[in-house]
Amino acid sequence: MATPLRPGDGTRIGRYDLVGRLGEGGMGTVYLGRSPEGRPVAIKTVRIDFTGDGEFRARFRSEVNRARQVPPFCTAEVLDADPDHEPPYLVVEYVEGPSLSTKVREDGPLSGAGLHSLAIGIATALTAIHGAGVIHRDLKPANVLLAPGGIKVIDFGIARAFEATSRHTRTDQMVGTVAYMAPERFDPAPGGRPTTAAADIFAWGAVVAYAATGRTPFDADSATATAVRILTQPPDLTGLPVSLRDAVEWALAKEPQDRPTARQLLHLLVAAPATATPISPAPRVEKPVSPAVGFVSPEVVAPDTLSPRPPRRRARTAAIVGIALLVLAGGGLFASRELLAANAPEPSATGPSGGSTASYRATPSPVDTHAAILRGSHRTLIHIAEADRDLALDLHDSEVVAGNGTGAKSLFLLVPYGVDYMIRTLRDASSTEETCLGVKIIPDGAASLTPVACEPTAATVFSLSAANGKDDKGRPTYWLGNETYGFVQYSPSDHTVFVEEVGDARPLSTFSLVDRGPN
């Protein structure tokens, strides 16, 4: 669903009229546009602060060239592009239909034939995408559209060619959404491990599990804890139909060489669901990139022709430690040693046969109210730790102020959105129109929080970053941030709540979550 244009957006780019906004990310904005022939199109533009970066412009040009090679039957077709425009832009087919994330959020998890068709549709898309020499790198429910004619996988803004390294990707860059990122993506070694098509296969498994259950298979209270679970724990596939369990478990293998190719996945899924037997996950060798064709053709090797590859325990352990130093994409979350230790699983002393093993077992923990708040099943006060006040709507329901924590205007519900949240206000629990907090720009350049429609946009999605402290009641504290506009802060001098970029400094205010019972 498009949102209105903002001041400064302009009304035209190239030969296209701009009608509204479809989304915004770390590298640019996607607009709903109209072609000279009257056709609705989606136009992706690069953020203005990147356009002077020659490396980024080269990356965008590479993206356009690769996107043109992807067959349009499973993706939004590339219609036009101008990498030399100010700003550069890419025009693709506008796809009618909700995203998978919107569908699950509004109607609940998929089941039966609809779920199986979704799994096949995404696997078909990946088969075509990988065949064109492209790795998506950010496959997630928001990038899967349920179009009238079938599944469409969109947003190749961070797709790359099948290459061990790219001249356009530095070793300190990480792109993707944590809950759907493969373990090898967190490798902190110099140069890391090259991202291959196997990372998209892992994301496929996480997306299908989300579609079937409404949660990610490594769901945790924070992006850091999620990353640790991805690295060390088996997926929680409770609620996943038996007909898809083999395929999803295979796709979520910790090591990339243990996962199937997209074509193998498709072969497994189109077999009769009740009788399908998974192909043995054999070790794989990837051929070099063909200069003439430009893509990798994975070759399956019989299990007895290669020695089993030893598990990368050292690399995975290093990755866990490395998360403490790495800014996780999309959330700006830094892990502390304490947080990592609290979320790391205990090594199992013995395996199934009683012998020593290096596998891990998850330590069950009792359900607590804090976890229930983060899952979106309990109401909460959002407590300003330094001020002993709580966020609340003002008298006229026009913006957020610091209140005393009483009444429905102080009650909120965290609505998980990937690893982030929308914050729904419960001022009128009987209302059929849900209202969430959003960032409102004030003419003097500051920003405030105001109630808006519960639609995931750049202004309504917030992150909770562990501040590694406690409030006066011993509850953990967080920095409450918005990727586009900055952090939510409280001014004790004039008692106002505002949103502000802080650069390299720490935010002034931290927040804790006060349980107010089941929703």
Instruction: Give, for 107, the enclosing helix (H) or strand (E).
Output: helix 100-107
- 119-123 CB contacts, 8 Å cutoff, 24+ apart: 119/204, 119/208, 119/211, 119/244, 119/247, 119/269, 120/266, 120/269, 120/270, 121/74, 121/150, 121/151, 122/151, 122/153, 122/204, 122/207, 122/208, 123/204, 123/262, 123/265, 123/266, 123/269
Q: How many residues does the chain have?
A: 519
Secondary structure of 189-250 in the HEC alphabet?
CCCCCCCCHHHHHHHHHHHHHHHHHCCCCCCCCCHHHHHHHHHHCCCCCCCCCHHHHHHHHH
Beta pairing partners, 511: 384, 478
Any idea which residues carry the catalytic annotation?
138
Cβ–Cβ under 8 Å, residues 58 and 65: no
Q: How far apart are CA 432 and CA 247, in angstroms?
A: 39
One DSSP character per residue, 253-292 reads -SSGGGSPPHHHHHHHHHS-TTT--PPP---EEEPPPPTT
Beta pairing partners, 436: 424, 452
DSSP structure class, residue 154: -
- Return all residues near 95 (Cβ < 8 A) that are at least 6 apart: 42, 76, 145, 147, 152, 154
